[in-house]
Chain A
Amino acid sequence: MPQLLLRNRWLALGVLFAGLLLTLAACGGDDETDTGGGTAAATTAAAGGGENVVTVAAGDKIQVGVTAVLSGDLVALGTTVLKAAELAAQQQGDVEGFEVEIVSADDTCDASGAEPAAQQLLANENLVAVIGSICSGVNVTVQPTYEEANITQVSSGSTAVRVTYPEGRDPFDTFLRTVVHDGVQGVKQAEYATEVLQSTTAFIAHDTDAYGTGLADVFEDEFTELGGEVVGRQGWEKQQTDFSALVTSVTTEAPDLVYVASFDPEAAAFINQLRDAGFAGDYLAGDGVITEQFLTLSGDNAEGAYLSKPAPFEETPELLQFQEDYLEYAGFPWDDQPYAAETFDAYTAIFNALTEVATVVDGNLEIDLDALNDAIHAQDFAGISGNIAFDDHGDVQGAPGKPQIIFFKVEAGEYVQQEFE
């Protein structure tokens, strides 16, 4: 009996260990289920065609689609966006004498509503481009559909990184966004690390929540792309206070830079223990860390640390004008819900591109969709939400003198802004 009991325990231990290995294996696996639905959808859309020139007959209207959540809990968000697009269309007027009409579809902000909304918009004969969706889950599903149909999407509110950094393929040419995504900071930080700090090796430490992991992912990709080497990457749970084991891992690797994607209490405790252990390399962290509390908690050890955060909206006369017009048109303020300004700019980008490529042939308006796509990509103007110009991934990027992310260095216990574009 004792023997049997002992064997059972060893068996149980074996099972436990096997279970752990399986879990780990599952975690490491590719996350491809995400895009599975999209691929299937693309096939059906292919039947609908993907002609390259849209011809708007004389007297007809050019159609710009808006896919947004127009029912359910998030209806206020979708309405805000739709109103901004309508206002923009109304204010910016005709293209070569052809009126622009906004057509909308309710994507329910859910993957299940995404495809029907896309099909509804694509059924419009004179559709040339689509604004939206503000929901990343929707975009991931319908990106292949629009790609197949050769219709360019300009999203004004989808901030998940993976939308323009799809896993396992190149970014969609037919997808752009005017909203600064969650990972822009990571990209800029990587540029700052390589260009300003001249770091060639980095150790990444991050909070294991969605914010920290997402930011760390972007930084890692970008830093590697810029030629840097990530010599280690480890996470932590909130409330961790003793970082000695992690510090030993860092000092053993002796990187040029320690990059932190987290919030201030852990980042402060970490830098304390890191500096006390004699680490003399650079320390770079993001908007979760740049607080007064970080300075209090880390004291002298914070000296020389680099931190970044997104630049706030600039209060230009155009933005103030928009604020007034929007209230009059929609009946509610533009900033009750986010993304109104970004939507206005998304429309402007499409409209500007339309005026550049649309040509009148025999009284009809011909719009080459490839040319339109190129023209949208090539836009570069001062929008009301900031500068509108797109990078290789279709993400909005800053302009000279108007960086999206601003950098600070701790000097004598204060955040001192640094020059960086």
Chain B
Amino acid sequence: MADLKRIPVGPVLVAAIVAVFALTVALADDRNFWVEQVRNGLTTGSLYALIALGYTMVYGVLRMINFAHGEVFMIGAFAGWVVLTEVFGGDDMATALIAPAILVAMLVAALASASAVVVIERFAYRPLRNAPRLAPLISAIGVSIFLQHLFLRLTDGRFKQYPRIFPQGPDESINVGFTEIAYVQVFLVGSSIVLMLALFLFVQRTRTGTSIRAVAEDREVAALMGINANRVIVITFVLGAGLAGIAGVMYGLWLLNIKGTMGFLPGIKAFTAAVLGGIGNIPGAMAGGFLIGLAETVGREEINWITEQFGFGLGLGNEWKDGVAFFVLIGVLLLRPSGIFGEVVGKRA
């Protein structure tokens, strides 16, 4: 029976989920409802996935959870907001300026988040590099709470508004035959997939990427081979932070209102996504993000639908979305403690 161990649980699980879903759509009355929920799940999931990459890469090289990552995402959102409102004139922006403004905002947000994380790494994590593993973790939680409150103070605890420059509204959508997909959703999912592909190629194909993978595999040996481990660690932090910063701008363009504490929940969800996919595993984090996004939308409705077929419809409402997402996490971890795709990047012999 040793063969059981060789069954690729990850792909089998994903296939099973897809099969159940296909069955639902085939049998359910309101097909449009399901397609829309998938669309919603993918939109949210793409943000989770982008943020999750930062958690997973840092874990890969340092075996450390950067709990301040949600706040790095928040800093990106604020940096983008400053660019869009102060530099490009906010709501009064000329139409021709919108596309370049968004690009610049994303770039600046990535830079701001990256600089923030470089400072955080230098002063809050590096001194604790050889301390017991709990120390940097607590330090990270401290940084997270500090940054939340710093930004709450800076903004008087108020929300700040992104300009409504991205066309949003009832008619601002693409008709794909069976449903409407808002431009902003297309933009979110599209750009995050492009960014994730870019990152994946960067890590797999470039010299720096190779050195990241080497450090992830064994920091000391990599150092012996002439790799500057500190430099690689900083680059890893910077890459993750850049993606989170861009995710912050996308969040602002989509949901419009930002606040000092906005990073907390997405941060937790993204961390969950990273664990779900197999922490340390880059494609795992991407898949995990989408899975968590889908679990809280489609997964919840799926539970309702399935239980209804058995005559005891649970009718879990929106208030159950976090509950279901974490239920999925527990369920997957029980079956597969190392996550759906397992830990690949940092696998030790």
Residues of chain A having any CB pair with chain B under 8 Å: 2-3, 6, 9-10, 12-13, 16-17, 20, 24, 205, 208, 233-237, 239-249, 251-252, 265, 268-269, 272-273, 275-278, 280, 293, 296-297, 299
B44 touches A241 (CB 8 A): no
Residues of chain B having any CB pair with chain A under 8 Å: 1-2, 4-5, 30, 32-33, 36-37, 40-41, 43-44, 158-159, 161, 164, 168-172, 182, 255-257, 261-262, 264-265, 296-297, 300-301, 314, 317-319, 321-322, 327, 330-331, 334-335
B170 touches A276 (CB 8 A): yes
From A6, A245, A297, B41 is in contact (CB under 8 Å) with A245
Residues in chain B near residue A233, CB distance under 8 A: 317
- State whether A237 and B322 are in contact (beta carbons under 8 Å apart), knowing that A20-B327, A276-B168 are contacts in the complex: yes
A296 touches B168 (CB 8 A): no
Which of B5, B257, B314 neighbours the largest number of chain A CB atoms within 10 Å of its CB?
B257
B334 touches A9 (CB 8 A): yes
For A23, the closest partner residue in chain B by CB is: B323
12 examples of A-B residue contacts, CB within 8 angstroms: A6-B4, A9-B335, A13-B334, A205-B318, A239-B261, A240-B265, A241-B255, A245-B297, A248-B36, A273-B255, A275-B169, A276-B168
Quote the shortest CB–CB distance from A257 to chain B (angstroms).
Answer: 18
CA distance A246 to B296 in the complex (A): 11
Which of B32, B314, B318, B331 neighbours the largest number of chain A CB atoms within 10 Å of its CB?
B318
Quote the shortest CB–CB distance from B7 to chain A (angstroms).
Answer: 9
Quote the shortest CB–CB distance from B84 to chain A (angstroms).
Answer: 15
A276 touches B169 (CB 8 A): yes
B257 touches A269 (CB 8 A): yes
- State whether A241 and B159 are in contact (beta carbons under 8 Å apart), knowing that A2-B5, A24-B314, A234-B318 are contacts in the complex: no
CA distance A278 to B181 in the complex (A): 12
Quote the shortest CB–CB distance from A213 to chain B (angstroms).
Answer: 10
Quote the shortest CB–CB distance from B211 to chain A (angstroms).
Answer: 36
B334 touches A16 (CB 8 A): yes
Residues in chain A near residue B41, CB distance under 8 A: 245
Assuming A10-B335, A16-B330, what are 10 further A-B pairs, CB within 8 angstroms? A2-B2, A9-B334, A9-B335, A242-B255, A245-B37, A246-B318, A252-B32, A265-B159, A272-B256, A276-B169
For A268, the closest partner residue in chain B by CB is: B257
B265 touches A239 (CB 8 A): yes
For B47, the closest partner residue in chain A by CB is: A242
For A11, the closest partner residue in chain B by CB is: B334
